[in-house]
Structure 1
Amino acid sequence: MTMSTGGTGEPLLIVGAGGFARETAQLVHAINEVSPAWDLLGHLDDDPAKHGGKVDGVPVLAGTDAVRSFGDARIVVCTGSPRDYASRARIVRRLGLPPDRYATLVHPSACVSRTSSIGPGSVVLAQAVLTAAVTLGAHVSVMPHVTLTHDDEVGDFATLAAGVRLAGGVRVEPGAYLGSGALVRETRVIGYYSLVGMGAVVTRDIPPEQVWAGVPARYVRQATVDHGALS
């Protein structure tokens, strides 16, 4: 397959064609406007009704299993929502690709300190800030206006929705989802595959696979999430 949006950089495929994937496509365009880096080939999505169409002008080429038809094109998996925030982890495990096949995408307006690091497959959207010695794992989603302060650690497959603020030394374990505008006190731990509601204020550690919400955040229920084997 050779379809392309006409870029001149390294071939890139976005897995997914929903909201996060569309935002990532716009991120790619923003990067290319500064310095051509990516040739965005299109989206791969497992909804057959989308195949052959376009979203925001970018073609939806085929299902995710077609990734091997595109040679050495780089990949970024852009799926997940509060209803199914483990989908990114499941897709990455199913694809079974080596880490160097995954692109790391950072919006030109994001501020990433020289002492911070970002893992393969992670996406950092507009005006996010990583202040000092922040560590993002692989396949992390950082939405617009997120602020991560000194020594924060965000595990693989975690999602930080728009406007999340972490004080210093917070650890977000793999697969956790923090809703829009959530605030987390310094040195707290957000357990793996837990879900923090939008606007919540977290003052205590949150155990794995639980849903917390409110001000201050309190336990709501056990999380129902199909993450399969932990990564």
Structure 2
Amino acid sequence: MKEIFGLVGAGGYGRETINYISSHKNKLDIYFIDNDLSGTIVNEIEVINEENFNSIKSEVRYFNISIASPQKRKEIANRFISKGCVPLSLRSPTFTNHGFNKIGNGSIFSDFTIISPNAIIGDFFHANRYSQIAHDVIIGDYVTFAPLVQCNGNVIIEDNVYVGTGALIKNGSTKDPLIIGKNSVIGMGSVVLKDVSSNSTVVGNPARVIK
């Protein structure tokens, strides 16, 4: 019985990242999972809904999620895992991992993303194009880096944080890491120079709280 893989979301990011599964094409039947586009073909890949995916008889049903919202990604992941599906991480061929890093399940590393040594990254992390993570960074679960995010060393990013395109996060130190609290949003192009409280939205250079 052939194993299957489903990528939730047939939008722009999904159409980019589905290509990272190419090395598994001989082993897996591959689908997009998108309730709004179910029954169509997108870039030569069949689109089915969540119910149909979970009804396919397969030795293993692998999945990942190409949706930027941390909260939505968490809800979807919990549903699929409760049905016995298994997260499968996706890596661009141009992703660079400098080693000695711990990376959780279900992550996606897009084109030209880089991780320096000794980072710890949680489950279902998204690193969009050209994002970089420096040494000794700790990232929680369901965190999203939009394209071109630069995260310097000795930073702690808690769960469910969204970091917008082109944001820069200043380095902390071993004794005093810079901390971005859970459920926060870092606006596009923001320059984060100090800690961000949980459930906050910050924008600007330097980043300031607007919510």
Q: Aligned to 1:161, which of 135, 143, 146? A: 146
SS in 1 for 2:201: strand
Where do 1:178-189 residues align within 5 Å?
178-187=163-172, 188-189=178-179
Contact 2:35 2:48 in 1 (8 A): no
Tell me the residue number matched to 2:46: 59
Tell me the residue number matched to 2:188: 198
**Equivalent position amino acid for 2:147 in 1:** A
Contact 1:174 1:193 in 2 (8 A): yes
Q: Percent identity among equivalent residues?
A: 26
Contact 1:100 1:120 in 2 (8 A): no
- Once the two structures are superposed, residues 44-67 of structure 1 have per-residue CA deviations (whole angstroms, 9 ceiling, x without a partner) of 1122xx1111222222112x2333
SS in 2 for 1:66: helix
Q: CA deviation at 1:134?
A: 1.3
Q: CA deviation at 1:117?
A: 2.1
Tell me the residue number matched to 2:175: none
**Equivalent position amino acid for 1:45 in 2:** D
CA distance in 1, matches of 2:95, 2:83: 27
CA distance in 1, matches of 2:141, 2:79: 16
CA distance in 2, matches of 1:165, 1:180: 9
Contact 1:104 1:118 in 2 (8 A): no
- Give structure 2 stretches of 5+ with no counterpart: 173-177
Q: 1:169 to 1:37 in 2, by over 3 A?
A: farther
Q: CA deviation at 1:99?
A: 8.7
- Once the two structures are superposed, residues 153-185 of structure 1 have per-residue CA deviations (whole angstroms, 9 ceiling, x without a partner) of 111100001110011011111110000110001
SS in 2 for 1:21: helix
Count of paired positions: 204
CA distance in 1, matches of 2:83, 2:152: 33
**Equivalent position amino acid for 2:209 in 1:** Y
Q: CA deviation at 1:97?
A: 3.6
Tell me the residue number matched to 1:213: 203
SS in 2 for 1:86: helix
CA distance in 1, matches of 2:87, 2:108: 11
Q: 1:96 to 1:27 in 2, by over 3 A?
A: closer
Contact 2:164 2:187 in 1 (8 A): yes
CA distance in 1, matches of 2:169, 2:17: 26
Tell me the residue number matched to 2:10: 17
- Once the two structures are superposed, residues 182-230 of structure 1 have per-residue CA deviations (whole angstroms, 9 ceiling, x without a partner) of 0001122111111101110000111111110000000011xxxxxxxxx
Tell me the residue number matched to 2:72: 87
CA RMSD of aligned residues (A): 2.2
SS in 1 for 2:79: helix
Q: 1:106 to 1:135 in 2, by over 3 A?
A: same
**Equivalent position amino acid for 1:209 in 2:** N
CA distance in 1, matches of 2:27, 2:184: 34
SS in 1 for 2:210: strand
Runs of 4+ in 1 over 6 A off after TM superposition: none
CA distance in 2, matches of 1:24, 1:210: 29
Tell me the residue number matched to 2:63: 75
Tell me the residue number matched to 1:143: 128
Contact 1:120 1:137 in 2 (8 A): yes
CA distance in 1, matches of 2:106, 2:189: 27
